[in-house]
Each structure stands twice: as structure tokens, then as C-alpha cells.
Structure 1
Amino acid sequence: MTVAVETGTWQLDRTASTVALRHKTMWGLVTVKGAFSAFDGQGEVRSDGSVVGSLTLDVASLDTKNAKRDTHLRGADFFDADNHPQITFAVRSAEPRDGDTVYVIGQLTARGISRPQTFTAQVRDSDADSVTLDAEFSVDRDHFGMGWNQLGMIRGLTMVSTTLRFKRSAV
């Protein structure tokens, strides 16, 4: 398959998309996994071939299957959802590379702090009306003011995994 997406506006299909994270805790012995259930996104492929877009996550929708932990993650030690209810990723460019690879350059904003973020996505499938991208990348939570780390239990980077399906918007 070669990446070839038509010019126009594309809307995220939330029912066929996922955004999840995982992070080592308990000194690397336990992996905490969570997923966001509320998110939205869109993209535009311009006539010159450039791509822009955005993905917005509702912080309160993060579910790790542990209510006490989820409340802590939404609190001031981590995402501070009361003051920063959304995480956003703004796509500045997405360049097709070899085969089914897309190199994405953007800006990640969490907890009111923005940092550049790049990653490589894989096109899982595409046709004239839809495209599905899989991506995984790491984030250093300290760069976003989430340095809480009781007794040094939390180590390493947070891994973010996405499957994003976009459908062509009606003209």
C-alpha cells in the first residue's frame, strides 16, 4: 500500500479509534495501562499536499480500571483536569515516507504546557473515504509538569498508543 490521501477535510471516527497510555510504576514491576474514552479530531489535506490537524482528549475520560488511581491522575499531581481539562495534539505536518509510513510533526499540550512532538505512524488501511493510522510514541511526563513520584516508584517514559481512523467529511 502506498500512502495517498485525497485533498479535503477529514473527521476522526471515534467509534473506530483508540488512544491509550501505559507507564511503569512500582519501581518498574507493574505497568499501569489506561485509555481515553472521550476524544475528537480532524485533519485537512491541502491542495499543495501539506497536512494539518488536531486531536483533543478529554482528561476526565482517562480510565485505568482503578477509580482511586484515576482520581489521582486527574488531580493536581498529574493532569490537573480541573484547570486543564484537555490534552491536545496539533499536527503541523504529516509527510508520507516509504511505503505505509507517515512522519508526523506537531505540538503536544498537556497541563497547559506545550512541547514539540514527532513520531512515525503506519497506515493500516486507506481508501477514497477513510484512512486508519497506528502510532506509538513516548512522552516524558516531567516535561509537562507531572513530576510527582512518591518514593521514586514511577520510572521511565509514558508510552502513548493510538489507532486513529479518519473519514472524509461531506463537502
Structure 2
Amino acid sequence: MTTAVETGLWQLDATRSTVAISHVTMWGMVTVKGAFGTVTGEGEVRPDGTVHGAVTLDAASLDTQHKKRDEHLRSADFFDVEHHPTLVFAVRDAVFPRKDVAEVEGQLTVRGVSRPQTVTAQVTGASADAITLTTEFTVDRDQFGMSWNRLGMMRGLTAVTSTLRFTRTSA
């Protein structure tokens, strides 16, 4: 385990963290990109080395730079923010097989549907009081009840990329 990931409580630094998505649409001709404006999170590294925590996204904060599309993404066709205002990745454990890599096992909850999700996170910055993790993984939106697909425009997986900086709050 890297020396920066010590026992204690860790808080997400929202000002230095980003979570973005991209999805190929229009029969493969256009890639829609967006970022979540509101991201929160916390974690705990326990004395036995296990890691628990969560990263929470405000679903309504997704911004694709297209107002009409963003409104549609907030609707019941996609995120249904009226009934499901957040997306949550709950960390069940993280293992550091190599110094700068974490294998993170968790559960992703979108629209009230939870699915196991494993991601590989690269440690891109570390000190005694802060750690920055970057990751990229894919999500099958159909598994979360987001199957809207007019005329077959939206197929395939959605890519999620994140840079998450956590600061240590206590030992």
C-alpha cells in the first residue's frame, strides 16, 4: 500500500475532483460529453487495511453544454432526477496490488438500481495528507433502466472518467 493511504478518515476535495461521462450517439457519429458539477465523497481506511466509503454525484448537475439535452437527461428517460437525485458509487474495499494502482470493488447505484462495479484506479498524486486517484471505466446504462434509444441512436457503453482527490481528516 502507498504510504499516503494510512488508517483514518478521508474527505473528497470537490474543488479538485471531477467526474465526467462520454457516450457515442447518432449511430456512432457524435460523442456526447458531460461533467457532473456537484461531487461529494468520503472514505475510511480501517486498521485492518479495508477501505470503505462513497462518492455521490448530484444527477441534476450533469452539464453537457446543451440545455435541451441536459433537460432530457434529467427526465424519466434517463436519470429521473425527480425520483433519483443522486448517483452513488459505494466502495466496499480497495486493494493495492502495486504501489500506484488500486483495485476498487464497489456498488454503483443509478435510478435506484444497484449493481456491483469494479474499477482500477491509478494513484496520480500522494502525500501524507492527500491522495489523488484517476480512473476510467464503462457502464451499461440499460442495466440501470436508462434504455431510451430513439431510432437506435444510442448504443453501447457509457465511459466514465474521474479524478478524485481525497484529503485526510483524521487518524
TM-score grouping bracket, smaller chain normalisation = over 0.9
Residue 44 of structure 1 corresponds to which residue in structure 2? Answer: 44
1:99 is displaced (CA, Å) by 2.9
TM-score, reference length from structure 1: 0.97
How many residue pairs were aligned? 170
1:69-124 deviations in Å (ceiling 9; x for gaps): 00000000000000000000100000001231100000000000000000100000
Q: What residue identity is the alignment partner of 1:90?
A: A
Query: Would the aligned equivalents of 1:3 and 1:101 in 2 still touch at CA under 8 Å?
Result: no
Query: Aligned to 1:83, what secondary structure does the other structure show?
Result: coil
Alignment of 1:86-165 (within 5 A): 86-165=86-165
Query: Would the aligned equivalents of 2:8 and 2:170 in 1 still touch at CA under 8 Å?
Result: no
Residue 18 of structure 1 corresponds to which residue in structure 2? Answer: 18
CA RMSD of aligned residues (A): 0.9
% identical equivalent positions = 62
State the alpha-carbon separation in 2 of the partners of residues 147 and 3 from structure 1.
Answer: 40
1:170 is displaced (CA, Å) by 4.3
State the alpha-carbon separation in 2 of the partners of residues 125 and 13 from structure 1.
Answer: 13
1:122-155 deviations in Å (ceiling 9; x for gaps): 0001010000000000000000000000000001
Query: Aligned to 1:73, what secondary structure does the other structure show?
Result: helix
State the alpha-carbon separation in 1 of the partners of residues 146 and 68 from structure 2.
Answer: 18
Residue 28 of structure 2 corresponds to which residue in structure 1? Answer: 28
State the alpha-carbon separation in 2 of the partners of residues 136 and 3 from structure 1.
Answer: 21
Query: Which region of structure 1 is more displaced relative to structure 2, 114-123 or 93-102?
Result: 93-102
Gaps of 5+ in 1: none
State the alpha-carbon separation in 1 of the partners of residues 118 and 28 from structure 2.
Answer: 26
Query: Would the aligned equivalents of 1:135 and 1:162 in 2 still touch at CA under 8 Å?
Result: yes
TM-score, reference length from structure 2: 0.97
Spell out structure 1 runs of 4+ moving beyond 3 A. Answer: none
1:7 is displaced (CA, Å) by 0.5
1:3 aligns with 2:5: no
Q: What residue identity is the alignment partner of 2:32?
A: V
Gaps of 5+ in 2: none
